[in-house]
Structure 1
Amino acid sequence: MQTPSALSASSAAAHSERPALPMFVSAGDILTDLVRTDGPHWTSHPGGAGWNVARAVARLGVPTAFAGAIGVDCFSDDLWRASDAAGLDLRFLQRVPRAPLLAIVHRTHPPAYFFIGDASADLAFDPESLPQGWTGAARWAHFGGISLARAPLSATLSRLAAELRAQGVRISFDPNYRNVMEHGYRPMLETMTALADLVKVSDEDLRCLFGTDEDTALDTLRAMNPAATVLVTRGSGAATLIAPGETIAAMPPRVEVVDTVGAGDASIGGLLFSLMQRPERGWRDHLAFALAAGAAACRHAGAHSPSLDEIVALLE
């Protein structure tokens, strides 16, 4: 059996043979969800909003990387294997001898959770160790999730986003509200919104981030960057896309919902794919693709990354 270090080295060697650098990079949270299933029984799942977005875009065929750091433990081995299986560029996934970041989900309906990882591996992410020349290949970079509420990683990522934007890389931002953002998150929200070309929020994000009704919250968010395109999703309700000079509302496709976990990550992944691969299309088509991606994810348990065929079938 290969040791974690040997596993890491052999997979990285295989991936390092790829000459091309990724077109899309997501730099956010990567963690393990420990979910109570029945009394004293728990199950673990690789997860993290930023990582889910990377998997969603990679599944659709875009050369993609998740940029972050994991440990050298059993949970991190699972994350490494899952990243490899998803086709992510492993040159961007760093391994450091620190404890893993865990989300302890002790109740699922309604969700109740907390995080363990005060000095965990994710906080040690070092952008200086990423492959040389990667910023010249990237067209879009995505940020969000609890990574932007965890110092010192939050400062590292906000600096990286600013540097990428200055080099012409387009920035996507999804705050993806969690309870760690309850206090002290507003400055980071303002910073990342101001840097973003695209902001994705849910109706729940708006209520929790601003503590007001949705309309007031959306006005406040848009005032932080009037030039940004904003996508607001509302579960099975109508979504709204606000682009400069154009506002579009649309219903997501109706599907039999198995699980909504990761649907928002699939929708922003779908939107980014559409923008990168079909830039000539209008915002209405981009929105339709994003909503179909989110709906397709809901047809499966867990944070499913839908294939292009699954999404197109819903569009038809």
Structure 2
Amino acid sequence: MSPATPPHPAPDVCAVVITYRPQVDLLQQVIEGVQSQVGRLLVFDNGTQDEKLDAYFVQLQRTSEVVIERSPGNIGLAAAMNRAAEHARIHGFNHLLLLDQDSLPDPDMVATLKAALEQLQRSGPVAAVGPQFRDRRTGYIAPFIRVAFPSSQKLNGGPGQQVRCDFLISSGSLIPLESFDRVGPMDEGLFIDNVDLEWCFRARHRGFSLFGICDAQMRHSIGDALRPSRIVAGGIKIHSPVRLYYITRNRVLLYGRKETPAVWIAQDIPRLILKFFGTLLFLKPRAAYFRSMARGLRDALRGTTGPMGPS
């Protein structure tokens, strides 16, 4: 499709952009990039207190048909996704598109995902399809993943390819609401990290397929920061101590769930151990990282879920 040719919108798709302390200029680009591609755009803000964002939302409501929902506090990513699915269902939409506040879709991303989804559904139940994304900071094209041991298969695919995979990141995922209802809602106990991983494992366990659509493109970034690396493709993703609490806790929680593939657990335990010691060796403040990760491990072993409480 030529960049000058506007794509046909998908009127039965409701998109949600979930925000938490967003960069307003970038959020505006995301909204402008997706609004014309879908039947409705919902912005769900997770308790951000920011005057610049307040002013932008006021202006947005005056000048567009974007629907804005603002939670008084941070209810977590999973809960926000579930509220968005409920909103889409109530208003008669058949599909939900999930987007992060920094995910920039190509002009034809939604139409490309929708066409691929309809084709794939003729061969069996599909939980979701997702785009191939390029890191906004480095240009690195993230592969789709099939879980294997001792390491997973990383599949880049190519033009026209639809890659069967074991999980998709939530941002950019197009989910039929019928599949969402059959797989079940996002696990709100996980709060923010690994929510997409758990849902995808549950979907695969229940007989659904997941596909990466190479012709659907999106720019996105993972991690709070990125450190260049000659060893790790795409660089090393740097997370805050709070995020590492959730990453540690939630991955260990997944080890005990029947839907989680045993082969993923076998390869992830060594990875988590390396991440623990690598973080302590190379990132500062070491004490803050150690406390967060140790607390995440302790809470996982206790079965603690939900938002991180006071220490």
TM-score by length of 1: 0.30
Question: Structure 2 length normalisation: TM-score?
Answer: 0.30
Higher relative contact order (CA 8 A, sep 6+): 2
